[in-house]
Amino acid sequence: MSQIIAHRGDSGHYPENTMKAFKKAVVAGCDAIELDVQRSKDGELVVIHDETVNRTTDGTGYVKDLTLKELRQLKIKKSRFLRTEKIPMLDEVLHWLQNEAIMCHIELKNDKVRYEGMEKEILQKVAEFKLDNRIVYSSFNLDSVTTLKKLDSPSEVAFIYNKKGVNPLLLQQTIGADAIHANYRVMTEQLMRDCQRHGFPVRLYTLNQVSLIQKWMDAGLSGVITDFPGRALQLKKEK
């Protein structure tokens, strides 16, 4: 049965990558949350998707060029009724996870901005909070995926795939990833079957339409990554 993974939290209803969105995903009954990690100018790990703060906050500039204090002072857009919401620190999310049963998918956003040593730093953070068995790591950066595997974490490591014409199974053999997180637009039913035959879990993003969720759940998808987890949870309940 497909796991339901709340993409940046319950982001279809609440501001993405905020504690509110993560907490609401738990209330909804999701199997996991997904979040994105970058690093501030002063070296703090923060939870935000874009390389800049322009889209999701009232500020401007690159995350890497702003200190934690500057990042935390920004107001989250679309949070008119959530005035206390701030860009979370990874520490804050991990601390909260200690008292929840939900899994967490951590995407390392280091394919455009290369945060040196991020892999080891995040693994150490997760180990400090004793959450190794509840984390799945992922990245578009294949070097980062390889590094995570070399660091011998007990957690699963997935590479993110969004290009047609590339065989993810061959790529998996090269970098040693444990799973694939693919854009649903580049996935085919034949490729899904091939991955399943090789025991290679596939999770698709971002499945928001009920018809698409149904199609891929019927195909045996390992994980539905969605902005609207309630829709997927209802389908799973019906199945």
The catalytic position among 7, 13, 95, 198 is 7
Is residue 1 predicted with pLDDT exceeding 90? no
CA atoms within 13 A on the CB side of 48: 29
**For the chain, which residues make up each domain, given as ranges?**
3-36+101-238
Fill in the DSSP letter of residue 185.
Answer: G
Q: Is residue 160 helix, strand or coil?
A: strand
Q: Is residue 92 helix, strand or coil?
A: helix
Per-residue pLDDT tens digits for 83-141: 789 999 999 999 999 999 999 999 999 999 999 999 999 999 999 999 999 999 999 99
Per-residue pLDDT tens digits for 47-89: 999 999 999 999 999 999 999 999 999 999 876 656 789 999 9
Whether omega before 188 lies within 30 degrees of 0, making that bond cis, reads no
Secondary element (H or E) of residue 196: helix 189-197
The catalytic position among 49, 95, 105, 198 is 49
* pLDDT above 90: percentage of residues in the chain: 90
Per-residue pLDDT tens digits for 164-199: 878 888 888 889 999 999 999 999 999 999 999 999
Mean pLDDT of 17-29: 98
198 flagged as catalytic: no
Please give the pLDDT value at position 79: 62
Q: Is residue 33 helix, strand or coil?
A: strand
7 flagged as catalytic: yes
Please give the pLDDT value at position 130: 97
Q: Specify the pTM.
A: 0.97
Mean pLDDT of 2-12: 98
In words, the CATH class of domain 3-36+101-238 is alpha beta
Please give the pLDDT value at position 239: 79
Please give the pLDDT value at position 143: 96
